[in-house]
Structure 1
Amino acid sequence: MTSLLNFRKIAGIALLISFTNCSFGQDFKIPELATKGKQGIVSSELVYSMDQKPTAQCHASTIIETSQGLMCAFFAGTHEKNKDVGIRVAHYKNGQWSWPVEVANGFLTDSVKHPAWNPVLFRPKGGPIFLFYKVGPDVDNWWGVYMTSTDEGRTWTKPVRMGKDEIVGDLLGPVKNKAVQLADGTIISPTSLERRGTPNGRDWRIYFEISKDNGKTWKVIPPINDGVEYDAIQPSVLIHKNGDLQILARTIQDVLVTSWSKDNGQTWSKLEKSGLPNPNSGTDAVTLKDGRHLLVYNHSTKNGPEPKGRNILNLAISDDGKNWKVVTTLENDPIQHGYSYPAIIQSADGKVHITYTYDRRSVKHVTVDPSKF
């Protein structure tokens, strides 16, 4: 069994390094650090300069295409969990990001304040843009909130609390990754529970919130795992050509796990290893227009030589959701807070857009041409 990746950028040398670990079941060749014009990279820039930050820290970006360009949202404040953390939105037009403006926070009254968490942008067919986010003192006790916009994110309605369900308690909306809408109009919101103080120390479970009326009401699909074999959260949903649905999710067990549904998300198979490593960090994935699936994730585990944990960020592609090829290394230079919590979409022109937390001090936006893979 070989050790984890241990490579550095080697100027001017196209280098592929083999990553083999029998616990993952697949052999991988990890590309050198990508530069513009290589490994599909079209452009790469920070949403805002780290020399001119609106807040000390930021995290958990989300991205969507509008009729006027791209829109990105993320939470930002002094630091995660601080009461001043709110949701900021920036717009991308003519190759430039606007200054991120706070549009939501967790201030219930002047004296009752909570942090806001994990925004997710989503537009159902024929509907307004939804901005889902969470409010609460911590992830054990947060609740789902949403606002909508009918003018491409320029203005937003007042926040609406999503309500409760007898199975899971407070509805959360999509917990980190975007919802998907099926051909029949069904919206599947991938979400999860994170609870501590249990006999096992923590209880992480994946479940789904499903809407058949464009987001007006939601039905809960109960947790699909018991939180024992795998502590799994933050799934992303892929849609296969035959109608099957697949999720990929992070775990604390150093692997990404997967599950499948053949009935539009009503029931799901048992979680199993995907063949990809994971350092207990968020991922995201998208089904491309050509039917292939693209995953953005940290190809590492928590231990081993650098770059480990969140200090490496990669793209992998698959035809079937089972066999993956690593095609791009977005980051591999170790920094204090790493590169994490990516979001990924495909725009109408076929390009892929990725945003992710950059050292908790900014958000990076990368444009990729998937035809190069």
Structure 2
Amino acid sequence: MVTSRHFLIPSPLASYSCHASTLVQLPSGDILVAWFAGSEEGAADTAIWGARCVSGHWHDPVLLADSSNLPHWNPVLFRSRSGTLFLFYKVGFDTRSWKTMVRVSNDDGVNWSIPKELVAGNIGGRGPSKNKPLELPDGTILAPGSSEQFLSPQSRVQRWEAFVDRSQDAGATWSLVSIPMNYDVLSGAEQFGAEGIIQPSLIYDSGEVIAFLRSTEGFVYRSRSIDAGRQWSLAKPLCVPHNNSGIDAALIGRTIYLVLNPVSDTSGSPSRTPLCVMSSRDRGDTWQLVRTLENTPGEYSYPAVIAVGSSLLLTYTWQRLNIVYCRLQIEDDEVDVF
């Protein structure tokens, strides 16, 4: 059941647009959420904003990052086991010119370092593209990323490619590993002017890393790694319908939870409702509906989810006017505990 639900922006304006939230729970129990907002997506006045929940009370949003006259996109929060809190985000006028910036905090977001490029000189965006990194038992950090580029100056179709950036030195340096994809069988270019997979969401289960991916093909895709993200299997579609919008996944016990718009619509402007939570007990082979979070007309999109005990903590875009936070308590019969 949904045990709490909260709008994070107290007084949204009609001229205000917000999107692409991310969240992390801190050791104190505080919850920190970030998103981008401005007059519209891609406008030069967009910036990264955040809000903190302390002892059940949400504080008003505060500015977390703002580079003058540059659009800001897709913040990602991540706290390593060593205690470093990362804020990754993109800057640039479109995905082709993105640079990934990073700020770090050693006091759980009270103070932040000066922003710097995650990979100096990179254009197109390294590191996480939307979803949270994953820290493996050996301390390796996997950042799920993707790029959206035209294959040539004459091309009208973008190639969407997914990858994982690996760091074995606590985020100081990164090594890119591509997630392979068979582009010869795709049809998304006709609807979206793009083809491929982006924005992986990673889970770790019994020595295997599984990536669930947004696609242009009407279904969620999956790729797997059994060597800590050094190599990945060919990404293939699952039975889960998908509208080419953001997804995210989390693990409780041995059950995977996926939050998405399960609408297999490749019309070019697919619906971003309903927003649902689905679950799988067989690593993504089969799925069942757990909860419908939103089902009225409008946009409810780009979810972020983390697992805390037997609860899922989620945020998502609400009509581009607000960010919703909710806590979903998973019932005992919905959790695989073996």
Give ranges in structure 2 of 5+ residues lacking alignment. Answer: 187-195
1:54-203 alignment runs, 5 A limit: 56-68=16-28, 69-107=30-68, 113-164=69-120, 171-196=125-150, 198=152, 199=155, 201-203=157-159
**Matching of residue 340 in structure 1 with residue 294 in structure 2:** no
Task: Describe the SS at the equivalent of 1:106.
Answer: coil
Instruction: Give 1:256's aligned residue.
Output: 220
Higher relative contact order (CA 8 A, sep 6+): 1
Aligned to 2:190: none
Alignment of 1:286-301 (within 5 A): 286-288=250-252, 290-301=253-264
1: CA distance between counterparts of 2:156 and 2:231?
26
- Equivalenced residues, count: 318
Give CA deviations for 1:45-78 in whole Å, capped at 9, x if unaligned: 21124x4459701000000001331000000111
For residue 291 of structure 1, report the CA deviation from its aligned partner. 2.1
2:272 match: secondary structure: helix
What TM-score, normalized to structure 2?
Answer: 0.89
Letter of the 1:183 partner, please give it: P
For the residues of structure 2 that align with 1:325 and 1:154, how far apart are their CA atoms?
40
8 Å contact from structure 2 (residues 124, 147) kept in 1: no
User: What is the deviation of 1:302?
Assistant: 2.6
Pairwise CA distance, 1:369: 1.0
Q: TM-score, normalised by structure 1?
A: 0.81
Q: What is the distance in 2 between the residues matched to 1:209 and 1:115?
A: 23
Change over 3 Å in CA distance of 1:209–1:73 after alignment to 2? same
Determine the C-alpha separation between the residues in 2 that align with 1:216 and 1:176: 20
Identify if the C-alpha distance between structure 1 residues 228 and 96 changes in structure 2 by more than 3 Å, giving closer, same or farther.
farther
Distance 1:225 1:200, change over 3 A: farther
- Sequence identity (%): 32
1:41 maps to 2
* Separation of aligned partners in 2, 1:95 and 1:131: 23
SS of the equivalent of 1:87 reads strand
| AA at the equivalent of 1:363 | I
CA distance in 2, matches of 1:266, 1:251: 22
- Write the letter of the residue equivalent to 1:325: Q
Q: Which runs of 4+ in 1 moved over 3 A?
A: 51-55, 168-171, 196-200, 226-230
For residues 16-35 of structure 1, the aligned pairs below 5 Å read none
Structure 1 unaligned blocks of 5 or more = 1-39, 108-112
RMSD between aligned residues: 2.0
Q: Is contact 1:106-1:136 (8 Å) kept? A: no
1:353 matched residue in structure 2 = 313
C-alpha distance in 2, partners of 1:158/1:285?
30
CA offsets, 1:149-170, max 9 Å, x none?
Answer: 12211221100111258xx855
Q: Is residue 237 of structure 1 aligned with residue 202 of structure 2?
A: yes
- Do the aligned residues in 1 keep the contact of 2:20 with 2:316 (CA within 8 Å)? yes
Larger Rg computed on CA atoms? 1
